[in-house]
Structure 1
Amino acid sequence: MPAEGLPPAAAAAVRDSVFGGIAVADRLGSGALLESVRNAFVAGMDAALVVAAAIAASGKVLTLVFLPGQRASSAGRADAPAEEPLAAHG
């Protein structure tokens, strides 16, 4: 049910928020309007999640490109402390 067929105040409430759209659909008893409001909300959430995923992926790529690499082992590094042998007590 398009918002254009509603009274001006009801159409404004439907366009302004999900809760306004649900309230108007409930008051009118319109399942079609309720479904339309829910579909619009889910479509908006889908778009927001795609944008968030793209930002997260970009952040990961930039992190991998610009952060210096770390080695898992300190073997062979000049600044690594030498191991001291255990002294035998006797």
Structure 2
Amino acid sequence: MPEEILFKFEQQMSTDEIADYLRSVADRIESGEPLSLESGTESVTMDVPANPTFEIKAERETSSSGGTPELSVEFELEWDEGADNEAGGDSSLTIS
């Protein structure tokens, strides 16, 4: 399925700033309010359903030239557009 990027933002910032953004996202998801993302002239507003799919990936990416590996943690919410996803899955997650 082709991917259409609706919004993209990337910037180096302090861990305190990142935590503030993540808290804002968590608050919007928890309250059921739409999630609006804005930067410069770009913006998108999305209604996150009550039970989206939640994915976390931890990755190590090494360049083919043998440079210093890059580590990342990605948090992703997925849902079918226009659907109110049902709860599913029986695995648990621990973050500490």
TM-score w.r.t. structure 2 length? 0.24
Name whichever structure is richer in helix by fraction. 1
Name whichever structure is richer in strand by fraction. 2
Higher relative contact order (CA 8 A, sep 6+): 2
TM-score w.r.t. structure 1 length? 0.25
